[in-house]
Amino acid sequence: MKQHEREYFISRIRSGKTIVKENNIKLSVLTPTVDDELEINIAYMEAYKESIDNGCMTMEENLKWMTEQGVWGKEKDKKIKEIEENVEKIKLKMFEMRNKEDIREGGRRLLRTSEQALSKLLEEKNTYFSTTAEGIATTFKTYEMIRRCTYVDNQKYDFKELSVDHIAERYFSSFLSEKNIRELSRTDPWVNFWNYCDKDINKLFPNKGRELSVDQKNIFMWSKMYDNIHDSSECPDDSVINDDDVLDGWFILQRKKREQEKKESDMEQNLNSEISSKQEVFLMASDREEAMKIDSINNQGAQFVKRQRFNKLKKAGQLNQIDFEDEQLKLKTQATEGIRTRLRR
């Protein structure tokens, strides 16, 4: 994005307005006031109730019907989950191999393909959303918002020449993508505003009693996120911060670390002090899920030892503790350390 484009988008975001120009008419779609928000949500609730009373299906009921008709099924939900997990793995790999351009860029191409496949499946899953009670209510909510917040020359627009549908389409299509928001939030001129206004939301967005827009909320959230990244003790290089896909991999890595630390902390709290001081602890799991949870607490070294012991035991059938390589290595290490201690005396 060029400098003049960033300046335009930042001025538009800060204003809280969406400008629609057509047929020599210049309209401004503003963000709602608190009172507007109430009326907009009332419109949603009333439309939802009326839809249910008229026999419309909810999203949950619609999905069940799609499954019964063979339009959707558990295998497609499973496919969505698989793609989402694969996207995470690709991003994590891109971070780990960030200095290997061929691997990193190969991962990026695979990532785009996976995202397209995911988008297609989600679109298919939501094919009938507009006919559900939630979909109909969302339409009424949108109409109420556009009617209340569209102005021409500081007066509410009467929608005689341009329809609510048309303005709503122009309004929602104006929202910036996450990619654009992330770029804007880490570059000038926004960074200058962010620091100059002391990160004060009221100084950044002088909305004059109106709620924050979608773009305002998003750029504020990402600005806080980038601040947290820079404050992190494991702050990555600028090359990582400026690459959304690679930075997502860093996010995933940090999350996995926190999850692992929490698992270990929770397990330690459940064990008494005598057991927790042992090098090895054997725990009985009540089911497969609990067994997987216990197994995930082992660090990489412990996981390697487990695999090594299992493979040797599988071949031999029966072994003594001393027959395992890790036990033999432990004894050799102890013996070596004993010799070193005697020599130092």
- Residues 108-127 have pLDDT tens digits of 999 999 999 999 999 999 99
pLDDT of residue 341: 62
pTM of the model: 0.78
The answer to whether the CB of 314 falls within 8 A of the CB of 301 is no
* Percentage above 70 pLDDT, the chain: 82
Please state, as a whole number, how many other Cβ atoms lie within 10 Å of the Cβ of residue 182.
Answer: 21
Q: Is the pLDDT of residue 273 over 60?
A: no
What are residue 153's phi and psi, to 5 degrees? Answer: 50, 45
Q: Is the pLDDT of residue 276 over 60?
A: no
Sheet strands side by side (includes 155-156): 18-22, 25-29, 150-152, 155-156
Nearest one of 184, 223, 175, 183 to 7, comparing CA atoms? 184
Kindly report, residue by residue over 62-104, the tens digit of the pLDDT: 999 999 999 999 999 999 999 999 999 999 999 999 999 999 9
Peptide bond into 189 cis (omega under 30): yes
CA atoms within 13 A on the CB side of 341: 6
Q: What is the pLDDT of residue 315?
A: 75
Most distant pair of Cα atoms in the chain: their distance: 99
Residues in the chain: 345
The whole-chain average pLDDT of the chain stands at: 89
Report the Cα 169 to chain-centroid distance in Å. 26
* pLDDT for position 221: 98
Q: Say whether pLDDT at 179 is over 90.
A: yes
Predicted confidence (pLDDT) at residue 271 exceeds the cutoff of 70: no
Residues 6+ apart with CB under 8 A from 226: 185, 186, 241
